[in-house]
Structure 1
């Protein structure tokens, strides 16, 4: 089983401390990313051998038959009104054992159907649904797709909980983040504070 690995860092008080600190930051980020790849690879191989369920990254657009094990990170309930009607929409953000997130959406009667399972920090098994492309007008934790629950969806609470403390982040470099065209994507970044200046209004 992979566990979080602590990587030692030291401070530098030399005249070139800022440059050296930035170089160490890049090296540390590379080592952390390499460890993540190694750890995720081990977890993936183990789960795939067991054939219990798929990972979020393995889902395909418009797929309706699947089984994923996820931890519920966030639950929100809102009212909506449009030309097609009005009602309630529930959005949940979940994460799998590889650390990949996805947003699932439930409407009206479907909310009541799964009410007993959809609770913060629950580890659940989701079987079947609809994998849909995201609407880029709205924020999403996944840049490609989201989930919609339907009549064929089944949810059960897993006895083997996902421990969020063992999940690793998927870091992106600042230069990669600034080049993205989607302003509504959430991501993880890691950096050093190199200078602090007062703000004047």
Structure 2
């Protein structure tokens, strides 16, 4: 008599559960990586698992478990898995939409599904409208996009700098109901397989849904597929049917604008328009629940009112991957990300600034690219100023020069906990200089709206 298993859907799992068994397909498999830290050396790899409902989770294995299961897990195969542990996912590094991540150890059970009906997981999308892609530029979070194909380029051969390898690339341009277009770069098999399919049917303006795209700042804003991206042509979904209806009825005759062209060079790293979602500082600080469910984004116009000179303003970074490095034994610096020693490193900003507007003030976190625009020099250059003067006068002057200058900021708002107290974390995602002609036009429009509302 065949054993009946009780299968738990991924959506039901949590860290406080007892025994469970899941039935999942491997939809992404990472490489085996080695690492070195204060506790020693080891190896690690991870897989992304998807159940028949389309729910995903990332599972990570270290050392003995990694060696035990690396060959066992094969892309596309289905497995029963039990005796794993779950913890809250690190949102900074997670690559799938799940509140938890799984760890498998050498005692975990992984059994390939044989002689039983398997499944093809439903691909679940969380579409971001093209005109709302700005805040994701150069971020870790991957996005899903749906659009009508406007053009498809021939295949190009691109030589990668990192390993001198030549890979095929194809660009497609898609549009959606926001009347914006964006270029999506397909690489490798995506370029030669589904990319060719799209080229062959491009005269019919197919709808394409793409999962897991990286948002970059090439030409203002662009999208790029990664190895785990999923491309679905003419999907049978409500979103696709709605988009097709819009395009056939009015979209094909509408003037469309590239999303990247709406971003000025000074604000390409994360802004849509600096005059969209404009609020005062008090709107953010007086609403402590903002961002509790997911990060929210706003634009503000404010002044840098204070930069604390004795804060830790930068970190030592790898010149290759920009991740934090530590001093190596003997000399040089060790990069965990690249797994190698380097003789030299660079400094990258990670600091806090106080900003003020007419409604109030707040402390904002700011990272390297945005900090360089605010300070007016690189972290290495500022460190040189600090080191050259015995009294640090040039360093102090440089910081003062950066204060009481107006800027337009695009910020994200998320909650964080410090000393068991929940607080807001407001992070600067983009910085732009104030264009007074555009600013005046914006203020006139706001005044007109106020008059109409009375």
- Scaled by the length of structure 2, the TM-score of the pair is 0.29
Q: 1:81 aligns with which of 17, 24, 36?
A: 36
* Paired position in structure 2 for 1:70: 24
In structure 2, do the counterparts of structure 1 residues 151 and 96 end up closer, same or farther at CA, with 3 Å as the change threshold?
same
Asked whether the equivalents of residues 128 and 143 of structure 2 are also in contact (C-alpha less than 8 Å), the reply is: no
Q: 2:60 aligns with which of 84, 102, 105?
A: 105
Asked whether the equivalents of residues 99 and 170 of structure 1 are also in contact (C-alpha less than 8 Å), the reply is: no
- 1:188 and 2:144 matched: yes
Asked whether the equivalents of residues 64 and 106 of structure 2 are also in contact (C-alpha less than 8 Å), the reply is: no
- 1:93 and 2:48 matched: yes
* Paired position in structure 1 for 2:73: 118
Q: How does 1:44-59 map to 2 (within 5 A)?
A: 52-59=6-13
- Scaled by the length of structure 1, the TM-score of the pair is 0.61
Any gaps of 5 or more consecutive residues in structure 2? 149-174, 180-255, 266-454
Asked whether the equivalents of residues 169 and 188 of structure 1 are also in contact (C-alpha less than 8 Å), the reply is: no
Cα deviation for residue 62 of structure 1 reads 4.3
Larger Cα-atom Rg: 2
Q: How does 1:17-56 map to 2 (within 5 A)?
A: 52-56=6-10
Q: 1:142 aligns with which of 82, 97, 103?
A: 97
- 1:129 and 2:103 matched: no
Structure 2 CA distance, aligned partners of 1:118 and 1:105? 12
In structure 2, do the counterparts of structure 1 residues 142 and 64 end up closer, same or farther at CA, with 3 Å as the change threshold?
farther
Q: Name the structure with the higher strand share.
A: 2
Asked whether the equivalents of residues 117 and 124 of structure 1 are also in contact (C-alpha less than 8 Å), the reply is: no
Any gaps of 5 or more consecutive residues in structure 1? 1-49
Asked whether the equivalents of residues 62 and 132 of structure 1 are also in contact (C-alpha less than 8 Å), the reply is: no
Structure 1 CA distance, aligned partners of 2:134 and 2:7? 35
**Structural RMSD (CA):** 3.2
